[in-house]
């Protein structure tokens, strides 16, 4: 956090205005003076936001302050000011980011330079964190104590709309509880998610967000009109990125009272796809429905709204305790979710396909070898599997496949060719049935009969993900006695 922001030198822009001297007052209209140059359009204001926070008596909370910059990117130094007058008497607060050592205190106001924020400006079109403030309840603070913290920023040349965040002692505590799921299901099985949601805090919650995420081999069910869906889609070529995950988020209406427990009226579940890998992950959570939580999930991604019956919660007779956690508007956000892993038997099965070439001494021939996933499962990271071609003596490469590169010995001679696996469309993983072909132009340097090289599969990490190593090597035959 010690990387200071570079200070941007201000560029002075002077608006030009032209006026006619008195001696030219009778100049004809055809010699009119040019109009003044128009000033650049004003930047839209930067907006600050901060979700409300609550804490248990004696507890603490991180108050996150965020900015939305609808204008152009700002590069340069600025200051952030927080006024803690509204919480005096029941809480104390200090900046965590920017670090408070370089802040200036004036009465109840604390002003900090942006130099320790750890980023290089206010990005255009961004919704991002601006500051983090630690708020702690003072000894003697009581349930029901309420106040506000006002945060503003002074950004040269820009208007910033300040935010007033609500801070209180006591609050709701949404707790999710679920029995352990089946960690070793078969492909095609359905995993029920029979969780119970309880409010173990001291205040009710009005409306919640139910969010579920699952990796590519797990299928999220449901089609509800109060839910937004984002099916799994691969982005980039760097393996399992966020875009691989299927996700939905539901805005569920209702009042969730302290001491009460609830379950979904329509049970949720996850289906294990036939192509599931040996390692899959899912995550479910419930949060208070507010703009900050909704925006954090969407992050500008396109979603589809469901069309089916509304998803709702119903009360269950299980009584919830009313203890308080340590932090949060939801006073303990760390008990509002469930994280699970699934291991499916089977897996990917990389098989190699060899070939046969024939020719006399000096002949140039084409040889195509292949690598294909014959298994039922996808393979998580294409970068972790490669093809290795080793040629017999007397055979050289005139032209290698573009996806293959020579690996040489210390004396400069070629030991083998290493071929990368590049799925189509920028995918970072290998689907069942994916096939990768590599074509070489070879030269038979001498008369050869019944000799062969090999084309094999190499795993950079754990070869155990391929349950059938017997088909991982195939032959490249040269002039065999029998085909």
Same fold, 174-342 and 350-478: yes
Helix H or strand E encompassing 293: helix 291-298
| Tokens 């109840």, residue located | 108
Cα–Cα distances in angstroms (integers) from residue 86 to residues 32, 66, 177, in the given order: 60, 20, 36
Query: Rounded distance, CA 162 to CA 67, Å?
Result: 10
Question: What is residue 93's predicted lDDT score, i.e. its pLDDT?
Answer: 94
Report CA-CA distances (Å) from 121 to 1, 6, 292, 470. Answer: 14, 9, 21, 55
The predicted structure's pLDDT at residue 324: 46
Alpha carbon of 53 to those of 149, 333, 469: distances in Å? 10, 11, 55
The total of other beta-carbon atoms located within 10 Å of residue 31's CB is 8
Query: What is the residue extent of each domain of the chain?
Result: 40-168, 174-342, 350-478
- The CA-based angle 319-325-326, given to 5 degrees, is 175
- Contact partners, residue 363, CB within 8 Å, separation at least 6: 443, 444
CA atoms within 13 A on the CB side of 416: 13
Q: How far is CA 334 from CA 92, 113, 129, 177, 178, in A?
A: 23, 31, 20, 12, 14
User: What's residue 327's pLDDT?
Assistant: 40
- For domain 174-342, the CATH superfamily is Immunoglobulins (2.60.40.10)
pLDDT for position 319: 55
Per-residue pLDDT of the chain (483 residues; tens, 9 = 90+): 333 333 232 333 333 333 333 333 444 444 444 444 444 568 899 999 998 888 888 888 899 999 999 999 998 889 999 999 999 999 999 998 877 677 899 999 999 988 655 455 788 888 888 999 999 999 999 988 999 999 999 999 999 999 999 999 988 889 999 988 999 898 889 999 999 999 988 889 999 999 999 988 899 988 999 998 887 644 433 334 434 678 889 999 999 999 999 999 999 999 998 888 878 899 999 998 987 777 666 555 678 899 999 999 999 886 555 444 444 456 566 688 899 998 887 778 899 999 999 999 999 999 999 999 998 888 877 788 899 999 999 999 999 999 999 999 999 999 999 999 998 877 778 888 999 999 999 999 999 999 999 999 998 766 566 778 899 999 999 999 875
Quick check: 60 and 137 in contact, CB under 8 A?
yes
315-331 burial by CB neighbour count: b if 16+ within 10 A, else e? eeeeebeeebbebbbbb
Number of alpha carbons in the 13 Å side-chain half-sphere of residue 312: 9
| Residues 84, 146 contacting (CB under 8 angstroms) | no
Q: Which residues contact 29 (CB under 8 A, 6 or more apart)?
A: none
Burial of 360 (0-12, 13-18, 19+ CB in 10 A): exposed
Asked if residues 229 and 306 have their Cβ atoms less than 8 Å apart, the reply is yes
Are 372 and 434 in contact by the 8 Å Cβ rule? The answer is yes
For domain 350-478, say whether CATH 2.60.40.1510 is its number.
yes
- In 421-455, which positions are buried (b, 16+ CB within 10 angstroms) versus exposed (e)? bebeeebbbbbbebebebbbebbbeeebeebbbbb
Q: What pTM did the predictor assign?
A: 0.62
Q: What is the pLDDT of residue 297?
A: 61
What is the pLDDT at residue 35? 46
Strand partners, 469: none
Question: Quick one: which of 456, 444, 449 has its CA closest to 389?
Answer: 456
- Beta-sheet pairing, 190-193 with 227-230: unpaired
The answer to whether residues 160 and 152 touch, using CB atoms and an 8 Å cutoff, is yes
In CATH, 40-168 is 2.40.50.140: no
Return the bridge partners of 390, or none.
454
Question: What pLDDT score does 7 carry?
Answer: 28
Give CA–CA dist 123/108, Å, rounded. Answer: 30
CA-closest candidate to residue 391, choices 423, 438, 461: 438
Half-sphere exposure of 150 (CA within 13 A, CB side): 9
- Residues in the chain, overall count: 483
The bridge status of strand 91-97 relative to strand 127-137 is antiparallel
Q: Are strands 473-478 and 355-357 parallel, antiparallel or unpaired?
A: parallel
Radius of gyration of the chain (CA): 32
Tell me what pLDDT residue 466 has. Answer: 77
Tokens read off for 214: 């699952």
Count CA within 13 A, CB hemisphere, residue 272: 26
Of 172, 235, 179, which is closest to residue 206 (Cα–Cα)?
172
Classify 115 as helix, strand or coil. Answer: helix
């Amino acid at each position: 956090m010690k990387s200071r922001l570079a200070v941007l030198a201000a560029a002075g822009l002077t608006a030009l205005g032209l006026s006619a001297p008195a001696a030219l007052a009778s100049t004809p209209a055809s010699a009119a003076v040019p109009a003044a140059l128009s000033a650049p359009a004003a930047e839209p204001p930067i907006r600050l936001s901060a979700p409300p926070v609550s804490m248990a008596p004696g507890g603490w909370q991180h108050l996150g302050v965020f900015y939305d910059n609808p204008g152009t990117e700002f590069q340069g130094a600025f200051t952030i000011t927080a006024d803690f007058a509204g919480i005096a008497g029941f809480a104390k607060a200090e900046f965590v980011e920017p670090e408070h050592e370089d802040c200036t205190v004036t009465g109840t106001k604390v002003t900090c330079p942006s130099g320790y924020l750890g980023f290089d400006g206010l990005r255009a079109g961004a919704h991002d964190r601006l500051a983090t403030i630690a708020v702690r309840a003072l000894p003697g603070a009581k349930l029901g104590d309420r106040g506000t913290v006002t945060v503003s920023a002074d950004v040269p040349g820009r208007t910033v709309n300040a935010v007033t965040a609500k801070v209180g002692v006591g609050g709701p505590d949404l707790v999710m509880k679920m029995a352990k799921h089946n960690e070793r299901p078969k492909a095609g099985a359905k995993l029920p998610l029979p969780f119970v949601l309880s409010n173990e805090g001291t205040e009710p919650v009005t409306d919640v967000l139910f969010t579920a995420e699952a990796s590519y081999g797990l299928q999220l069910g449901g089609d509800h009109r109060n839910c937004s869906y984002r099916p799994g889609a691969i982005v980039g070529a760097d393996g399992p990125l966020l875009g691989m995950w299927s996700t939905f988020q539901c805005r569920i209406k209702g009042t969730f009272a302290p001491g009460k427990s609830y379950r979904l009226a329509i049970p949720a579940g996850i289906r294990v796809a036939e192509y599931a890998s040996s390692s899959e992950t899912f995550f479910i959570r419930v949060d208070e429905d507010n703009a900050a939580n909704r925006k954090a999930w969407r992050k500008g991604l396109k979603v589809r709204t469901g069309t089916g019956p509304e998803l709702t919660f119903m009360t269950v007779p299980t009584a919830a305790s009313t203890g308080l956690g340590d932090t949060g508007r939801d006073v303990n956000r760390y008990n509002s979710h469930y994280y699970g892993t699934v291991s499916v038997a089977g897996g990917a099965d990389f098989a190699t396909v060899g070939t046969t070439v024939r020719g006399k001494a000096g002949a140039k021939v084409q040889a195509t070898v292949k690598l294909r996933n014959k298994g039922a499962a996808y393979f998580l990271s294409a970068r972790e599997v490669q093809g290795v071609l080793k040629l017999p003596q007397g055979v050289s490469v005139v032209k290698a496949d573009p996806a293959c590169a020579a690996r040489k010995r210390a004396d400069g001679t070629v030991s083998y060719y290493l071929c990368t696996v590049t799925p189509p469309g920028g995918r970072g993983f290998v689907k069942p049935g994916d096939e990768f072909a590599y074509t070489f132009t070879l030269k038979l340097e001498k008369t050869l009969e019944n000799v062969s090289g090999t084309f094999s599969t190499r795993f950079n990490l754990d070869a155990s993900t391929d349950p059938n190593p017997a088909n991982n090597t195939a032959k490249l035959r040269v002039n065999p006695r029998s085909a």
